[in-house]
A = this chain, B = another copy of it.
Amino acid sequence: MTDTVVSSATREVVIGFERPFVMIGERINPTGRKILAAEMAAGDFSRVEADVRAQVAAGAHMLDVNAGIPLADEPAILARAVQLVQSITDLPLSIDSSIVAALEAGLAVYKGKPLVNSVTGEEERLEAVLPLVKKYGAAVVAISNDETGISEDPDVRFEVAKKIVQRAADYGIPASDVVVDPLVMPIGAINQAGVQVMHLLRRLKNELKVNTTCGASNVSFGLPAREGVSAVFLTMAIGSGLTSAIMNPLHLEIVKACMGADVMMGHDPDCARWIRKFREVPAMQASGGVAPPTEGAARGRREGGHRRRVT
């Protein structure tokens, strides 16, 4: 079935229905992180560097890079962040901005084939972003809302996703390079948010046959023990067809859910990755809390079932 291939200069990651789930680290994002925003605006990228290393150590397969800082020169900062991150890790990146000039600045310096995050179904966005995606030979996240906003009806969101895939094709971008974000709402506010998104994920897999991603932390907004809600969401969503997510790999409870889902989907032969990750972790720690970076680093080197060197 559909494979979406992204890469850095030396490493490929494939998002696909017959592949292990792809965890995209969400941490390099100044939204809601005042200190990080101030540091990035001032040219201090030390915290970005630490975030890269921690997420790599925790087992992320890709990293999202966002430089959305109000009143700052976002194109310049995003380009610098992309270059810095690529100098530290060979994980492929998702270049994340709502500003087209920033996406272009990031794309211009990127080595490999990134994921552009994102385009929506809004005409203006489609016309601005899709030519860039084509020009740089990237893949793109397609968010299933348009000028009318985000519909609570998953079948309306399906039609928006379908339209974006068709418009991408018009620009010469294959459906395999469009990764649809079905949009997950906070379930504390919308009781049916889970049912809606599971239905949409099944349609996206079975009918549109596209890969999918989403911001997984959003679902648990405002709830206690929220990593538990995010973990359950990811597990059930993977069962419904979700093939990647932008998420926090520093929460072991969430990584465990994704790796367990790989076991359940038959994407971890002989449970080899599960056994390697958890055989030495005490029960309490394996169940939750924050992944210890050093231990994670040692494990990270031995993993990577779905990664292969291209050079």
User: A: which residues have CB within 8 A of B?
Assistant: 187-188, 191-192, 194-195, 198, 223-225, 227-229, 231-233, 235-236, 238-240, 253, 256-257, 260-261, 263-266, 269-271, 274-275, 278-279, 281, 283-284, 286-289
Contacts and interface: CB of A to CB of B under 8 A. Distances in A.
B266 A232 contact: no
5 contacts: A198-B239, A224-B278, A233-B264, A239-B239, A286-B288
Contacts of A266: 191-192, 194-195
Oligomeric state, in number of copies? 2
Given A235-B235, A238-B236, A289-B283, A274 B191 contact: no
A146 B8 CA distance: 53
A269 B191 CA distance: 6
Most B C-beta atoms less than 10 A away, residue of A263, A269, A278 = A263
Given A194-B263, A227-B287, 15 more contacts: A191-B266, A194-B264, A223-B275, A224-B278, A225-B274, A225-B283, A228-B278, A232-B257, A235-B235, A236-B236, A236-B261, A236-B264, A253-B287, A284-B288, A284-B289
A282 to B, nearest CB: 9
What are the 7 closest A-B residue pairs judged by CB atoms, nearest first?
A287-B288, A232-B260, A194-B264, A225-B278, A236-B239, A235-B235, A225-B286
Contact of A224 (B240, B269, B279): B279
A270 B281 CA distance: 35
Contacts of A288: 253, 283-284, 286-288
Nearest to A289: B284
A182 to B, nearest CB: 14
A192 B260 CA distance: 13
A77 B232 CA distance: 40
Contact of A228 (B191, B194, B239, B287): B287
A40 to B, nearest CB: 28
